[in-house]
Chain A
């Protein structure tokens, strides 16, 4: 296989691996921009993956599966909101708790309902999001360079992939061009000012969490009924945390979030490709380096060596009205 074909195949799998990260990181973008730390992204992704697989298995309809995934993810968001907004609890503790609940509940319920050691049943093909071949993909295949790129990277993905990339400009527009977005960002920077303007801080933050739950539902659904055909134990496998890293790496901005997710997806795909292969001059590179690289890069960024990452000012602080 020549190098270009290899590059195209890695690029294709990089896109597939970055989609759950992209949805989740955008979810985190909304909640963190509103001043709510969301360690629970991982749990939301896992719970929605489970819900989507269950609903799709029972109904045989992928869109209902998506709806189920989104629904459960929003329920988790509400619990997070109830703890950290209404009761002013610690947002990180609440997120950790939700991750535990999701990790345990998906296996316990999965075992009780399907009796396959935590797996759900195999979802029938009509209950899954299958890949779409864009018009002209076959015709273009033989055109040099652009052809394979179009046929294997841009075409041949499932609908959720295209929705993910569509969500990037939409998120940008909502955050920077609407009144809702302005208030959302304000609530994360200076909730006191927003309160003075007569806008409810709590309700604003709840709404940001609902948006986050909505987006996270897509991520989970993608994992269980687009990328695979069933829910598997702990299938989010730390992706929620990588998404969190991507969000920080992107300095809490929508378009950089997309680029960071693509970069981390690419690292993941490259690690898979490099398994057991050796590079010229360097020799065999341990795959673990690629697995750790997203986290190392994020730490280096946080240390202020690649620009500065300035988080929303009021992040993690419960808002209390002055008495």
Chain B
């Protein structure tokens, strides 16, 4: 008998298997560290201390976590409807334009808490706009969403390049970026959150968008598991034919799902653009959209899991940066390798260990 259809208890499915996959990913990453002549254990220790040792480190870790929660949610929402949105990267990039335009327009006149809701809407609208055409192509013309969203990553990249180099650049400056937003266009730092635990935020850019990310996690949970729309999305994701038989309109759900997904990705831009650098910079997304794929996979597309997975990647990002200071022979790009390994083992190879675990479980329970 094959093992694929044997049901396993939740703690194995959602706890043990992801954990074992993660350990494998770290094992192979450790091999790379060992191969270039450094101690993997020492590296891991430096990484953890760098990410969690001081208040500033934690601030940076949570800053990265914020971005990954947004992009992770973006990918997860689409996956629930059976759509693979690989374009969170581009949607976040265009979302930055939305946030920046709002900040540039309002920062002279109003305090940040007036600007913020408009910026959230602006970022989400621009992100959703970027997802709209691939969504329409999938819904109405049957073009594969994976391919079109990849294409849109590049189209947006060219567009933003043009906007920053030709339109939004400060006259007389060389750097392709907008002017620095006044405090009315910035999101405040969360010093008090770190101070509550007795640490100091220092230069870390942890900001208000962290709280927005947590609110979005809750809203996504409500949407997917507590609303009619979420039910229809999940139905479509599990069985498109059953969904159509039940009278769920395919093109409508695809459009709505992708708009939400793009909107969530767009909101990611609030964190680096309005929270950290207070200006729109070129290539500010820096791969966070692709990390979102890994985060969503690891978090099993559930907001709670996504927070944990985003935290893991936040630790990797911040710890990896610190690690490259302490061990000069390991560059910052080691985290890219670890990411790749995590996506490979927790994502593509997620069923590799399952047959062995099923057999072990059956022996253990005597069935």
Contact = CB atoms under 8 A, between A and B. Distances in A.
Interface of A: 37, 39, 79, 82-84, 87-94, 96-105, 107-109, 111-112, 118, 238, 241, 244-245, 248, 286, 288-289, 291-292, 295-296, 298-299, 302-304, 309, 311, 323
B348 A93 contact: yes
Interface of B: 2, 32, 36-37, 84, 86, 133, 137, 141-144, 146-148, 150-152, 154-155, 158-159, 161-162, 166, 290, 293, 297, 329-331, 333-341, 343-344, 347-352
Given A302-B147, A303-B137, A295 B155 contact: yes
Contacts of A304: 141-143
Given A288-B162, A292-B158, A311-B144, A89 B340 contact: no
A125 B143 CA distance: 46
29 contacts: A79-B344, A87-B352, A89-B350, A92-B86, A92-B146, A93-B347, A96-B343, A100-B337, A100-B339, A101-B340, A103-B340, A104-B334, A104-B335, A104-B339, A111-B331, A244-B147, A245-B151, A286-B162, A288-B158, A288-B159, A288-B162, A291-B154, A291-B161, A292-B158, A298-B147, A298-B151, A302-B137, A302-B143, A303-B137
A109 B36 contact: yes
B343 A93 contact: yes
Contacts of B151: 245, 295-296, 298-299, 302
Contacts of B158: 288-289, 291-292
Given A101-B340, A108-B36, A295-B151, A96 B290 contact: yes
B350 A244 contact: no
A89 B350 CA distance: 7
Contact of A244 (B32, B133, B150, B330): B150
- By secondary structure, the A interface counts as helix
A86 B333 CA distance: 29
B343 A292 contact: no
Nearest to A82: B349
A288 B330 CA distance: 35
A108 B330 CA distance: 6
Contact of A112 (B86, B144, B329): B329
Contacts of A112: 36-37, 329-330
Contacts of A91: 348
B79 to A, nearest CB: 10
Contact of A98 (B146, B154, B329, B344): B344
B329 A100 contact: no
A264 B331 CA distance: 34
A286 B146 CA distance: 28
B344 A101 contact: yes
- The interface centre, meaning the residue of A39, A99, A112, A118 with most chain B CB atoms within 10 A of its CB, is A112
B141 A96 contact: no
Contacts of B166: 286
B148 A299 contact: yes
B150 to A, nearest CB: 6
Contact of A101 (B152, B159, B331, B341): B341
A82 B351 CA distance: 11
A268 to B, nearest CB: 12
A83 B335 contact: no
Contacts of B335: 104
A75 B5 CA distance: 31
- The interface centre, meaning the residue of A37, A96, A303, A304 with most chain B CB atoms within 10 A of its CB, is A96
**Closest CB pairs A-B (n = 4):** A104-B336, A100-B340, A101-B340, A104-B337
Contacts of A105: 32, 337, 340
A213 B27 CA distance: 26
B143 A94 contact: no
Given A105-B337, A245-B151, A295-B152, A89 B351 contact: yes
Contact of A292 (B36, B154, B344): B154
B155 A88 contact: no
B38 to A, nearest CB: 9
Given A108-B337, A241-B154, A89 B347 contact: yes
Contacts of B154: 238, 241, 291-292, 295
Given A108-B32, A108-B36, A103 B336 contact: yes
B348 A292 contact: no
A125 B158 CA distance: 35
B333 A302 contact: no
Contacts of B155: 292, 295-296, 299
